[in-house]
């Protein structure tokens, strides 16, 4: 039996996290990894204890749901909350990060962003990653379904 690659393993974790998302517009998961160890994970959803999109709908302004905290931000904030350093870490995200998450990832010291799907890849985010020396790499993902987890 052949094992999956590290990239596939961590991307699968991000897809699993995305299954916890409470946003109805897009489900996203993110896994922060250092030295081949998972140090944090996040998914897009409302603040802890808050109203969720799945309960009351998305709160959309300028075509963006402002009710949700993005998966990348939730993962970074989990590190901050528990005092886990992110400098030199990698992140695996189900979708290409938005500009705001891009800036946060750079400031947190993330060195590589692995993503499964292109999603409105903003030219400024691409430029900022290049400027900061943050590597981006698409990791194709074959898929994860609940039925495959039950087998």
Catalytic residue IDs: 72
SS3 60: strand
Contacts of 45 (CB under 8 A, 6+ apart): 20, 21, 22, 23, 52, 53, 68, 69, 74
**Using CA atoms, how far apart are residues 14 and 91, in angstroms rounded to an integer?**
9
């Amino acid at each position: 039996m052949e094992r999956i690659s590290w990239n596939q393993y961590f991307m699968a974790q991000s897809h699993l996290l995305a299954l916890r998302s409470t946003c109805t517009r897009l489900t996203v998961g993110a896994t922060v990894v250092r030295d081949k160890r998972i140090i944090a994970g996040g998914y897009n959803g409302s603040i802890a204890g808050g109203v969720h999109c799945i309960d009351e709908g998305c709160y959309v302004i300028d075509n963006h749901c402002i009710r949700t905290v993005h998966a990348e931000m939730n993962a970074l904030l989990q590190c901050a909350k528990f005092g886990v350093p992110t400098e030199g870490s990698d992140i695996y995200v189900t979708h290409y990060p938005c500009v705001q998450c891009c800036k946060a990832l750079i400031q947190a010291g993330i060195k590589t962003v692995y993503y499964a799907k292109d999603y409105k890849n903003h030219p400024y985010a691409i430029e900022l990653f290049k400027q900061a020396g943050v590597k981006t790499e698409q990791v194709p993902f074959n898929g994860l379904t609940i039925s495959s987890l039950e087998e």
